[in-house]
Amino acid sequence: MDNIARSRARGSIALSTSSQALSTKILGTMALAETKRIAHVHTAPVHSLAIDCIQSRYLLSAGADTSIQLFDLEAHKQTAQCLRQITPLSHVASGSGHTRSIANIEWYPVDTGIFSTSSFDNTLRIWDTNTMAEACQFDLESRIHSHKLSPTGTHALIAAANESAYIRLCDLRTASSTQQLLAHQSGSTALAWSPFQPYILASGGSDGMLKLWDIRQSDSCVSVFGYIPPVPSHKSSNKGESPNRAHIGAVRSISFSTISDRIISTGSDSRVRVWRTNVDRLPSLLLADFSANSVDTEGGSKAGHDNSHNKSWSTCTLEPSLTSILDGTAESEIMFYPNNDKTIAVIEVMTGRHISTLHGHFAPVQCTAWRTKHMELYSSGADNDIFVWCPPAAENLTDEQIATRVDSWSDGN
Amino acid sequence: MSSLDELVAELTTTGYDALDAEKLKQLKQECKTDTSGQTIVEVFTLLLKALKKTHAQVRISALQVINELFSRSHQFRLLLIRKLPQFIALVLGSYQKKLPPPKRYAEKLKLLAAEHLYTWVEKFGFAYQRLVYAYRYLRYVEKVDFRSAARAYKRTDPERAKRRHEFFVRNRREYMWRTLVAVRADIMTKKLEIERAVAYLNNCFEVLIPDIADMFGVKERFVSRKDKLAALKAENAVGTENSVAKFKAENRNADDEDDLDEILAVMATNRHAIQIEFNPEKALDVEENEDNVAIYDTLRDYLQICVQVYTPLVDKWIERLDQVNDELEVDVAELKSTVRQIKGRLYRTVAKCRDLGIDFAYMDSKKYEDSGDDEFEDVPFIASALEDGKGSQSKKESQTDDRYRKRNQIFALLGETGLESDPTVVDPRKLRYRSENSLLKKRTRDMDSDEQQAQSSNPIEDKLREIAPVVSYDTDLMYWNSDDINANTSGLEIRHRFLGSARDEPKIPSEAARRMRMRAVYLKDLHSHSHPSDAAATDASGEGDSQRREIKACRAPLKSGKLCPRRDLVKCPFHGVIIPRDEFGRPQGQTAETQQLEQDQPQPLETAGADSRQSNEPSSVATAETMDDLRAEDIELLIANKHQLPAATRGRTRRKKGDDSNSSSALINIRKKKPSGISHLRKAVRKYM
């Protein structure tokens, strides 16, 4: 870090480069927060986390126990084992809303008064945050894997990816479905709205296809992203790597880059692929392709674990979170990717470089949420607990904590 | 480095429960003196390696060393916390990886690990959050039992436990204080309201029931015991009305004072007998009519508020105030007594209403709408619930009749005596009773008929009964009459995003249930059983059902010491034509020959191993196991005799050879298999060949 500062002082590197390098370095030190913790409230795996994008203050969590918890990340109280424990502000009790496991939870992008959940009980529900009561409900007649609202806020359409071949667009204003996109024959698994163009939607299916839509028309698939292996081998042909598939197996998540016109997709083949969206310029859509599996693993039996989990979790949507470091001039983005081996990989998106690996979870991680401007990451998964991560430099340990951390060889000898 | 290696190995492979203090001290010294921290990393790697050994005793020792270092070195703590999932799997076992044998020590390891983890969380959880996350994961997801660990911790570290306790006390104090403030504010706002409602009710009572004390102007004397005497007063009123009606009528217009004086005078003179009749069915001489309907309505309104809103509210106050210690603030005791008074007043007033014969049922139909108090739930009325609970069926019935007769204001038909004989009316309270009775009767009737049928000797049925199969109890009988069978009654839930959260009732479909009630029955050859001579005849002639005939096993001796189990008609593909063999698999025809051989060779062990196994023949042994054992012993005896060696010394030398690496170890050899006869024998033979 001193090196970067010195280079900057000498003027040998540009301002943007130096701050970008610094941010990357700081993010590389991320570890479990020692002074902050979230109370243990869920009794089953947590599938989805959402932090509101207005104040970055309220965290929603939902999962297999069908309860929804709302946390105020500013409020906290002290406990015997932690300096600041965040307890739920309010909640929807288990069983009082959805009847099956909740797959995804999303804030309404322009107002924290509304949030939405989708579940395997085939319903998409809209909730009033102040009363934590259900406002309306859409029945989609098949299990919903994910749903997304456009972050631009120009329309109130919710796109819902379900097990049917169609992606349903539900309108919050009229409380009815407006449109269906014939997307993926075997069901769609992941969705993303463009952060800039309100009518551009990307969808991924359990067949490994990745498509881009313009929802102003119904038969409006703009493009299909296909992965062509650089050296076509005889082996790949029978593995289903046809040119119009983005991943082998299901697409597990799609994210639009917020600093450029790119899409980042992850699949159950543990690959992260970055695609270009402006089709007309370049023939090749694929920009980067790398494995999300980190080299640095905790347990010894990584291979066995990986296989088993890939199978059983193949259709589930992962929620990696993207964070752009620095302003728009620097083209760098960091991705927190929940790995199968109970870790979270911190990856630089364009280069695929593993910055670090976050060790902490005791069961597979399923979702992450990045709290912008606070340098805090929230993650959860099959261990029913929400973990808080932050750079150690951002925390001030108390005297008592420091005293506990000191060696004590003298006693007992 | 090699010395560290040896040190760790020596510490972990002793097999004793306690660590070697001298070596442990040495190890700690090594770690302490090296400031670069390289030693600790080295030691940690070595300990983790020891922990991976598939022997529970080694793991226990390694865990103890880890605990010693964990409580001392920050660097060691960081190292271990980084490898926590792996560590947990090694010492507590995991879903796929069980703890290694010996079983007794595996259990011990589990307990010890829980204890150490709990201690670490208590001591260091404040500074190392991952420990706390691990604890929560183990406790809530893996369901590790930490209770005994918590107890042990309290014993070993009373100082920290005390501090923790103090923290709780402080927290509790804060909580109590907050409760007190909230309740106090609540009482201040609601107290007046309640008192007003109670006052309204009391006013209504006074209008409805003429207060005799009031009437005679001696209210002051009764004031303190007014409530207790309320019933008595009422009786007095009734009594006077009934018996001295004439007297009263005469003095209707007279002054109250004079009335009492006169009554007292009459009583004093004792010249007139005063007869007071008490009618328990009609303690109060008040009935609702068009004149006092307004009063009754008011009464009902306020009663409903009292029962549905104020009583639960006051109960909640009491419940919350009970959590507050009296010494917290000055006014706590006072507040408590105030609330109890309010409660007493409320209960007495409600009781009076019941005495008045007001039917509480109207509250169920018309719920009290109170905008602010959604949180209060209706509580079932306690007194009536108690009444329901006591007494047997018949007693209860008569009681309920009484009750209905008493408050016959709204459900007038309920108390009517003529209803019982009315064929068009069904009393729902009796329906259940009756159905139970009829069921019982039907059952006894069935049993009677069974007996009758048994007695009336129907020859066909008797025959059917004779040939009816007596089957053992099995799952088919278990499910014979059940239509709804629960599929997963274990309560286990697979932790899975899609499958794990099913909320449906897990029922087995009817088709599958039908199949569960089936049983495969193998028919015996009834024919051959009934006519053995016939069967013998067909067998002898070679024709008939050859399928049913038992095919003989090959029974040629195998290398494993068993006999070939193949059943072929003529020729075994491995051992040739099937010939009759004796119990050791030797061909029957050659018996004489082998016996001859044995006589020629008095020491059969000098022949080859396989031969010796065959030729050594103990007599009169039934099962294979005992047979093997016996043979082994025989051989040992023979060997001992031949070499003139006492058996015990041989045993010792052999053990020494096996375990010379750690002579003082108490480790249990888990690789040692249970001594089976054959292996024993083989070993012995190999040794002395």
CB-count burial class (<10 Å; 0-12, 13-18, 19+) for B506: exposed
Looking at residue B567, what DSSP letter applies? Answer: B
d(CA A339, CA A293): 7
From the list A33, A100, A363, the residue facing B501 with the nearest CB is: A100
CATH number, domain of A379, equals 2.130.10.10
Most confident range, picked from B130-139, B173-182, B320-329:
B130-139
pLDDT at residue B505, as a whole number: 60
pLDDT one-digit tens code per residue, A187-209 = 888 888 988 888 888 998 888 88
Lowest-pLDDT range of A249-253, A355-359, A374-378, B325-329: B325-329
Lowest mean pLDDT among B418-427, B555-564, B630-639: B630-639
Let me know: does B578 contact B564? Beta carbons within 8 Å: no
Q: Which helix (H) or strand (E) holds B466?
A: helix B459-467
Owner of token pair 């600093």? A259
Q: Is residue B497 less than 8 Å (CB to CB) from chain A?
A: yes
Q: What DSSP string describes A334-384? A: EEEEE-TTSEEEEEETTT--EEEEEE--SS-EEEEEEETTTTEEEEEETTS
3-state percent breakdown (helix, strand, coil) of chain B, nearest 5: 65, 0, 35
B462 touches B455 (CB < 8 A)? no
Q: What is the mean pLDDT of chain B?
A: 68
The answer to the question of residue A5 being in a domain is no
- Which position has the higher pLDDT, B477 or A409? B477
How many Cβ atoms sit within 10 Å of the Cβ of residue B573? 8
Interchain contact B475–A (C-beta under 8 A): no
Nearest residue of chain B to residue A36 (CA atoms)? B129
Residues of B in contact with A397 (CB under 8 A): 127
- Is the Cβ of B128 closer than 8 Å to some Cβ of chain A? yes
pLDDT tops 90 at residue A116:
yes
**Residue B27's pLDDT band (cuts 50, 70, 90):** confident
SS3 of B291, please?
coil
Q: Please tell me the predicted confidence (pLDDT) of residue A231.
A: 56
Which of A26-30, A41-45, B628-632 has maximum average pLDDT?
A: A41-45
Say whether pLDDT at A137 is over 50: yes
The CA distance from B286 to the nearest CA of chain A, in Å, is 49
Tokens, residue B377: 């739930």
Candidate from A226-235, A258-267, A268-277, B396-405 with smallest mean pLDDT = B396-405
Question: Highest-confidence range of A6-10, B500-504, B527-531, B634-638, by mean pLDDT?
Answer: A6-10
Residues of A in contact with B167 (CB under 8 A): 80
Minimum distance, in Å, between the CA of residue B50 and any CA atom of chain A: 15
Other C-beta atoms lying within 10 Å of the C-beta of residue B307: 20
Range scoring the smallest mean pLDDT among A146-155, A290-299, B171-180:
A290-299
> Residue A144: closest CA among chain B residues belongs to which residue?
B498
> Helix and strand tally (H, E) in chain B?
32, 2
What is the structure's pLDDT at A30? Answer: 86
CB pairs under 8 A between A and B: 114
Confidence of residue B645 (pLDDT cuts 50, 70, 90): very low
Residue B417 has pLDDT above 70, yes or no: no
> Which H or E run contains A224?
strand A221-225
* pLDDT of B405 above 50: no
Q: pLDDT (tens digit, 9 = 90+) per residue, B424-472? A: 655 555 555 555 565 666 555 555 555 555 555 677 888 887 877 777 7
pTM: 0.55
Tens-place pLDDT, residues B329-379: 777 888 888 888 888 888 888 888 887 777 777 776 655 544 444 445 555
**A83 found inside a domain:** yes
Inspect the interface and report whether the beta carbons of B85 and A397 lie closer than 8 Å.
no
Is A18 part of a structural domain of the chain?
A: no
Closest residue to B126, CB basis, from A65, A359, A404: A404
Looking at the partner chain, which of A64, A66, A80 has a beta carbon nearest the beta carbon of B497?
Answer: A64
Q: Which residue has the higher pLDDT, A143 or A349?
A: A143
Mean of pLDDT values over B121-129: 84
**Cα(A372)–Cα(B634) distance, rounded to whole angstroms?**
83
Poorest-confidence range of A220-229, B127-136, B216-225? B216-225
C-alpha distances (whole Å) from A82 to each of A352, A400, B22 are 36, 11, 38
Averaged pLDDT, B31-45: 81
Domain carrying residue A238: 33-410
Q: Which residue has the tokens 């926590």?
A: B84
Is A95 contained in some domain? yes
Question: B214 pLDDT band (50/70/90 cuts)?
Answer: low
**Res B11: pLDDT:** 79
- B130 contact A CB<8A: yes
Residue B26, chain A, CB below 8 Å: the answer is no
Instruction: Determine phi and psi for A407, rounding to 5 degrees.
Output: -65, 150
Chain B: residue whose CA lies nearest to A82: B126
pLDDT for position A71: 92
Q: Is the pLDDT of residue B622 over 60?
A: no
Q: What are the start-end ranges of the H helices in B125-225?
A: 129-136, 147-156, 158-208, 212-216, 219-222
The arithmetic mean of pLDDT across residues A238-259, rounded, is 73
**Residue A24 included in any domain:** no
* ipTM, interface predicted TM-score of the complex: 0.83
Residue A262 lies in a domain: yes
Question: What pLDDT, on the 0 to 100 scale, is given for residue A61?
Answer: 92
Amino acid of residue B681: L
B95 touching A, CB under 8 A? no
In chain B, residues with a C-beta closer than 8 Å to the C-beta of A404 are 123-124, 126-127
Within a domain: A119: yes
Is pLDDT above 70 for B201? yes
Do residue A298 and residue B86 have CB atoms under 8 angstroms apart?
yes
For A411, nearest residue in chain B (alpha carbons) = B72
pLDDT confidence band for A356 (50 / 70 / 90)? confident
Task: Compute the C-alpha angle A321/B496/B137, nearest 5°.
Answer: 75
Point out the least confidently predicted range of A39-43, B30-34, B528-532, B634-638: B528-532
DSSP type of residue B679? H
Q: How confident is the model over A303-332, as a mean pLDDT?
A: 45
* Most B CBs within 10 Å, among A206, A404, A411, to test the B interface: A404
Lowest mean pLDDT among A377-386, B66-75, B464-473, B544-553: B544-553
Whether residue A260 is predicted with pLDDT greater than 60 in this model: the reply is yes
Query: Is there a domain that residue A182 lies in?
Result: yes
* Mean pLDDT of the residues in chain A: 78
Task: Please say whether the beta carbons of B132 and B125 come within 8 A.
Answer: yes
Q: Would you call B125 an interface residue with chain A, using a CB distance cutoff of 8 Å?
A: yes
Confidence grade of residue B634 (pLDDT, cut at 50, 70, 90): low
If DSSP codes are grouped into helix, strand and coil, which group holds residue B543?
coil
- The enclosing H or E element of A138 equals strand A133-139
Query: Is residue A360 exposed (0-12), middle (13-18) or buried (19+ Cβ within 10 Å)?
Result: buried
**Interface mutation vs chain A, best among B133, B136, B157, B374, most A CBs within 10 Å:** B133
Shortest alpha-carbon distance between residue A412 and chain B (Å): 10
What is the per-residue pLDDT for B216?
Answer: 52
Longest dimension (CA), chain B: 143
Percent of chain B with pLDDT over 90: 0
Look at A89 and B242; give whichever has higher pLDDT: A89
A213 exposed, middle or buried (CB, 10 Å; 0-12, 13-18, 19+)? buried
Say how many domains are in chain A: 1
pLDDT at residue A179 greater than cutoff 60: yes
Which residues of chain B lie closer than 8 angstroms to A381, CB-CB? none
CB contact under 8 A, A408 and B71: yes
By percentage, how much of chain A surpasses pLDDT 70?
80
B329: left (phi > 0), else alpha (psi -120 to 50), else beta? Answer: beta
pLDDT band (50, 70, 90) for residue B609: very low
* Pairwise CB contact (< 8 Å): B72 & A407: yes
pLDDT beyond 90 at A117? yes
